[in-house]
Structure 1
Amino acid sequence: YFLCMESDFQDRPPKAGDSLAIGMVDLANNEFIPLTETKAWNFQQGCMLHWLEDEQGKTIIYNDRIDNKFHAILFNVETKEKKILPLPVQALSPDKKTAACLNFARWGVWRPGYGYAGVADPFAGQNKPEDDAVYLMDITSGAYKPAVNLAQIAHLTSDLDRRKDAPMWFNHLMFNTDGTRLVGLVRWWCPEAVDDVKNTTINIDGAVAERRHCLWMLNIGEDHPEIIVNDGLVSHAEWRDPDHILAWASSNLDEPHGYRVFNVMDKTNEVIGEDLLTEDGHLASCGRGLYI
């Protein structure tokens, strides 16, 4: 079976009342089998729909909105039984046992198209709320604990005055290939810091601002994140192995953008495909990592 989602429209962002159909295709006969629906989704990443590694291979996980909160849902495709988890999932560990979770409401405010509609940001008006955190959640029990919060990242990047009073939010999370590390992006909305035209946003009212970027890493089991990129650009990225991240990035404002391999152990990086890969884009490895 092949999991998929189906929308009734594609010409506008989803609103709070819009539902997304979740189903699967039987690859033996190409039949679409409807399963359920969700009201927590976007066009960029859907509802974070995944198969889980249960013994029968019949459980999926996805996000939904229930009683004005976002939750991850465990759903048995055969019995249609649901289990509601306390937080929504943004990334799954390789063994599918742990979810990394963030504030989709805040993400939707500051990066429309990536968060979800329908729930107000509980930290609206706060630029670096200490209680806005990435959480690690056990998929089986639903138990969760904070891993990294925005105030921690603000403290680690406090050397840059232009971001000091700017709103910030968590933006994408990724476990490494063996589940021992988690990286994530934090971004700031800086109306007064337009240094890089490729990061500049112009609102419909004419307001100009720039998104600033930080790539952080957490060793699972520890409580102190490390900064990999402080004030460059970080866009599409993926783990190459447990210790290396490939990203369209620059490690500071003076470096040109390009595909860079970051060594998270010694914090060095090197450019690959400098004259060939000249534009940002979605990337995926194949051939055991030999090709992208």
Structure 2
Amino acid sequence: MTTVDRSPVLHHCPIRRLGKDELHHFFGYYDKTVWDRHDRYILANRVPVMNADLRPDLQMEVGYFDPENGDCFTSCGVTTAWNWQMGCQLQWLDGAPGLQFIYNVRTDRTDGLYPGFGSAIHDVHTGQTRYLDTPVYVAAPNGKYALAVDYSRLFITHETIGYCEEGGKRSNMPLCPGDDGIHHLDLATGTTRLLVSYADLRRFHHRASMDKAIHWVSHIEINPSSNRILFLHRWTERVEDETCFLHRLITMDPDGGDMRLLECSDHPLPQLAEGFDPSAVGTYDYEKSEYQISHPLWRDDRHIIVWGPHRGSIHYHLYHDSEPVRAQVIGPDALTENGHMTYSPVDKRWLLTDTYPDPESNQRTLILYDVREDVRYDIGRFYTDPTLRKENRCDLHPRWSRDGKLVCIDSVHEHERQMYVIDVTSLVDQD
């Protein structure tokens, strides 16, 4: 019997750094491309330090690099509503006229959906910026609406992706309110409406573990046609210990209807026993849990790639957004640990992902996986400072260019927080 070698293939790809000044640059998450729809400009955040404990007054510049002008950085505004993991939710509005992007800001307003937070829409061609009273999580590809959540709640439940506030974390946050959850935001008018509340989610396929827990949602994503939404519903009785988080992958229509439960990883939690020390949990233990559901993203209008357990086995799974639930394993022997994965925007043969740091070398691996041929290409390994914590770590978070030829990452392997562009043409152009 012939044994097939599934070892990763090392493949060299040209790489260049963006940013030539003494400041630091990063983008944030893996789920949004940095390139505009013409593959001209590259969105970026610019900060004065590589890492810091965030404060409500710590400013970050928002702008873009222009590769056709020597990678010159144009600053378009500043914000204090950001974190190291997701930045300020900076993203292009692909369906809007001209060339516009949106990002989150703090405001002085004490009214509105989430007082103190809003968003800004900047027009690259006119240089004008208009402001909305609601912060965004993700904007629809058609440019007509965005989805919003409470970043003060996230600062309590999952500090890595929340926004800090004066006075620290709020002490009166309700566990499972009926008047908060995922909100629809009309990008033209600024009006909002509640699509699904936390109380609604607790009632939806209820589990006993939800009753005493605080609830939140994250990883909200909208499919290419803007007519279907996915998100992770999470809950816990111990926010200090991420291994106590419980997870569900859910989809719904943009009006909150036709909600479907694709996966649930409710499981026993011995960590809730008295005397357990959450500080004993390692920085990346949560990401490597066998119960973790993380990093879901639409492959197309009906399929979702996610790292998580299905029928007792954790893998990269490709779900069909349907009932009954259908899921298939992707790269069972090649993709064996959690990462941030996206399919090429032009050829679904190629899946881009990464790893968390190797505990001995402190290196993260950047991976391009050939789905058709079942071949894993390791196209880069990048050192990370092991002293960085959950809140200020720097994941690679790889992102595709629109033509599927380039990849952009954030990295600290040169002891600075910078963005890098990697040319993968030599791989993706092969027959």
1:66, CA displacement in angstroms?
0.4
Residue 69 (str. 1) matches residue 116 (str. 2)? yes
Cα distance between partner residues in 2 of 1:270 and 1:104:
33
1:229, CA displacement in angstroms?
1.4
Q: How does 1:29-68 map to 2 (within 5 A)?
A: 29=69, 30-52=71-93, 53-57=95-99, 59-67=100-108
**Aligned pair in 2 of structure 1 residues 222, 126: CA closer, same or farther (>3 Å)?**
closer
- 1:246 aligns with 305
State the TM-score, normalizing by the size of structure 2. 0.60
1:121, CA displacement in angstroms?
7.3
Long gaps (5+) in structure 2: 1-40, 109-114, 266-290, 352-431
1:42, CA displacement in angstroms?
1.0
Cα distance between partner residues in 1 of 2:235 and 2:200:
14
Contact in 2 for aligned 1:13/1:43 (Cα 8 Å): no
Cα distance between partner residues in 2 of 1:285 and 1:123:
41
Return the index of the structure with the highest Cα Rg: 2
The match for 2:57 among 1, 4, 17 is: 17
1:44, CA displacement in angstroms?
1.2
Cα distance between partner residues in 1 of 2:97 and 2:317:
39
1:60, CA displacement in angstroms?
2.0
The match for 1:149 among 197, 203, 223 is: 197
Spell out, residue by residue over 1:96-136, the C-alpha distance to the aligned partner (whole angstroms, 9 max, x if none): 22101111110111111101112777893421111112111
Spell out, residue by residue over 1:74-101, the C-alpha distance to the aligned partner (whole angstroms, 9 max, x if none): 1233544332212111111111221011
Deviates more, 1:82-91 or 1:8-17: 8-17
Cα distance between partner residues in 1 of 2:335 and 2:174:
39
Spell out, residue by residue over 1:11-58, the C-alpha distance to the aligned partner (whole angstroms, 9 max, x if none): 23422111111122222222222221001111111111123244332x
- Aligned partner letter, 2:161: Y
- Aligned partner letter, 1:55: P
The match for 1:182 among 200, 218, 229 is: 229
Residue 110 (str. 1) matches residue 168 (str. 2)? no
Cα distance between partner residues in 2 of 1:226 and 1:123:
33
Cα distance between partner residues in 2 of 1:125 and 1:38:
25
**Aligned pair in 2 of structure 1 residues 151, 95: CA closer, same or farther (>3 Å)?**
same
- 2:47 aligns with 7
Cα distance between partner residues in 2 of 1:98 and 1:114:
21
Deviates more, 1:47-56 or 1:257-266: 47-56
Residue 203 of structure 2 aligns to a residue whose secondary structure is helix
Residue 271 (str. 1) matches residue 312 (str. 2)? no
Contact in 2 for aligned 1:13/1:113 (Cα 8 Å): no
- Identical residues among aligned pairs (%): 25
**Aligned pair in 2 of structure 1 residues 173, 123: CA closer, same or farther (>3 Å)?**
farther
Contact in 2 for aligned 1:94/1:179 (Cα 8 Å): yes
Residue 63 of structure 1 aligns to a residue whose secondary structure is strand
Aligned Cα root-mean-square deviation (Å): 2.2
Work out which structure has the larger RCO, using CA pairs closer than 8 Å and 6 or more positions apart in sequence. Answer: 2
Cα distance between partner residues in 2 of 1:83 and 1:123:
33
- 2:316 aligns with 259
Deviates more, 1:168-177 or 1:20-29: 20-29
Q: How does 1:279-290 map to 2 (within 5 A)?
A: 279-286=337-344, 287-290=346-349
Runs in 1 of length 4+ with deviation above 3 angstroms? 77-80, 119-125, 221-224
**Aligned pair in 2 of structure 1 residues 256, 5: CA closer, same or farther (>3 Å)?**
same
1:6, CA displacement in angstroms?
0.7
Paired positions, count: 275
